[in-house]
Amino acid sequence: MLLDKTIEELSTGLKQKLFSIEELVQECYENIQKYNPKLNAFITIINKKEALRNAREKDKNISRATSKLYGIPFLLKDAYITKGIKTTAASFVLKNYIPQYNATVYQKLLDAGAILLGKMNMDAWGHGGSSENTDFGPVRNPWDLTRVAGGSSGGPAAAISSRMAVFAIGEDTGGSIRNPAAWCNITGLKVTYGRVSRYGTIAYASSFDTVGPMAKSVGDCAQVLEVIAGKDMYDATSSSKNVPRYSELIDSPVENLILGIPKEFFQEGLNTEIKNCILNSTKIFEKSKIKIKHISMPMFDYGLPVYYLIGPSETSSNLARYDGIRYGQKRKEFTSETVRRIMIGTYALSSGYYDAYYKKAQKARTLFIKEYDKALSECDVLLMPVTPTPPTKIGELMTDPLQNLLADVYTVSQNPVGVPSLAIPCGFTKNGLPIGMQLVGSMFSEDLLLRVGHIYQKATDWHKKYPKLEG
């Protein structure tokens, strides 16, 4: 199957004409036709004839391709603006919205010659950790159709896991790339804040939102990141720091590296199978002469309250523009989860409560930054769980709002700080459900995280396993 190959292998094979872009795109659509009715991963599927015509045109010019992503089929979470293609953020508020311009990340991929196949299902506006809070029906986990795919980038994760495309672009505000990556057995990268432009992204919480790749492997994420990263004149928060050749650095040696294990992330509340699986992974790192150090991050317990005060405050402001007058449907189309977050945020920002809640949360955010600075001065990389449990049954989180928030307990503290985090597969439960772990580093240390993650994936084959869905 072509879709089992890495981006490097696909690019090489296309240039050597061992197979064609048209064949690769055709294989994607065959899998979409077989598996999407079961998974509900797509909101919009690009017309097959149009995509195949695009592929045939690119086949004619393959000898002149300069990017490894040339002719590679990809997917976009439906939070990115795409000119002439419906963009909904999984909400009926935008169910008929056709944008007039492209998000920067989408435009960069088009310029590289990649081929978009669809816009993916998600939690509406990014509000959720299961991709059930969507007006287009829940996304199902390809490893167990009775369970969720994770969120909010559940559609992209389910689609890559089941080989409907080569890679996808997700969005991570508090775990929305890493959570579904862990639950669907793929690799997902939450980048440093500002590493990739947010221009054309439908905002959840503007100071937390990050744009990042989701793929089968660390190597593929490296290939995508070096195309989409960099300064953007349309986004003042994007960084002008040089973009390394991540894919060329990925095999660089890691000498005298210290991997930190924060004890607070492995205490009560973490599923025993997940805990044991992640701690066992340290043996692989030790074989590569990486030193393991146990540390403490006592601020961990304040992650959720800080995130769920600042995040909803920003979303209450961002979603105020959807008034049903200039564009979009009426506000009654917002889901109950979105209404809940708007109300929490509006309350936290209101007169008399701003100092008591929002201002204190921002002060705690500063303490989080200091906490991560301290931890990453003792260690080069931190190893943590992604989720406290394996994928939950459909309906479990939506009927318990508190549990819905707790699904992000290990991923919400990195976004307020702005540090990068790489989620990679590290095993399965006794019931065959995927387990993921995350590697967290200092600002703009994506190259280091990718190198460490690649060391693990060269020594294991968890990331090569895919669900056996019947067509």
The structural domains of the chain, with segments of one domain joined by +, span 2-464
Mean pLDDT of 32-51: 98
Helices (H), 16-116: 21-39, 48-60, 104-112
Q: In this structure, what token pair is assigned to residue 375?
A: 């931890």
| pLDDT over threshold 80, residue 28 | yes
The gap from C-alpha 97 to its chain's centroid, in whole angstroms, comes to 24
| pLDDT over threshold 70, residue 402 | no
Q: In this structure, what token pair is assigned to residue 8?
A: 């490097």
**pLDDT band at 341; cut points 50, 70, 90:** very high
User: For residue 451, how many C-alpha atoms fall within 13 Å in the half-sphere facing its CB?
Assistant: 22
The predicted structure's pLDDT at residue 257: 96
User: Using an 8 Å Cβ cutoff, are 450 and 246 in contact?
Assistant: yes
Q: In angstroms, rounded to a whole number, what is the distance separating the alpha carbons of residues 436 and 425?
A: 4
Mean pLDDT of 160-164: 98
Phi-psi bin for 173: left (phi > 0), alpha (psi -120 to 50), beta?
Answer: alpha
Q: In this structure, what token pair is assigned to residue 399?
A: 């009927």
The predicted structure's pLDDT at residue 352: 87
Q: In angstroms, rounded to a whole number, what is the distance separating the alpha carbons of residues 331 and 92?
A: 10
Q: In angstroms, rounded to a whole number, what is the distance separating the alpha carbons of residues 116 and 15?
A: 20
The predicted structure's pLDDT at residue 288: 93
**pLDDT band at 61; cut points 50, 70, 90:** very high
Q: Is 77 a catalytic residue?
A: yes
Q: List the beta bridge partners of residue 119.
A: 44, 76
Mean pLDDT of 110-129: 97
Q: In angstroms, rounded to a whole number, what is the distance separating the alpha carbons of residues 127 and 323?
A: 19
User: Using an 8 Å Cβ cutoff, are 250 and 451 in contact?
Assistant: yes
Q: Residues near 191 by Cβ (< 8 Å), separated by ≥ 6?
A: 172, 210, 211, 212, 225, 229, 420, 446
The predicted structure's pLDDT at residue 471: 60
Question: What fold characterizes domain 2-464?
Answer: Amidase signature (AS) enzymes (3.90.1300)
The predicted structure's pLDDT at residue 398: 75
**Catalytic hit among 11, 20, 68, 77:** 77
**Catalytic hit among 152, 161, 162, 313:** 152
Burial of 183 from C-beta contacts in 10 A (0-12 / 13-18 / 19+): buried
**pLDDT band at 107; cut points 50, 70, 90:** very high
Q: Is 176 a catalytic residue?
A: yes
The predicted structure's pLDDT at residue 351: 84
With a pLDDT cut of 90, the percent of the chain lying above it is: 92
**pLDDT band at 384; cut points 50, 70, 90:** very high
**Catalytic hit among 161, 176, 247, 313:** 176
Please give the model's pTM, rounded to 2 decimal places.
0.97
Hey, what amino acid is at 146?
T
Q: How confident is the prediction for the chain on average, in pLDDT?
A: 96
| pLDDT over threshold 90, residue 396 | no
User: Using an 8 Å Cβ cutoff, are 370 and 298 in contact?
Assistant: no
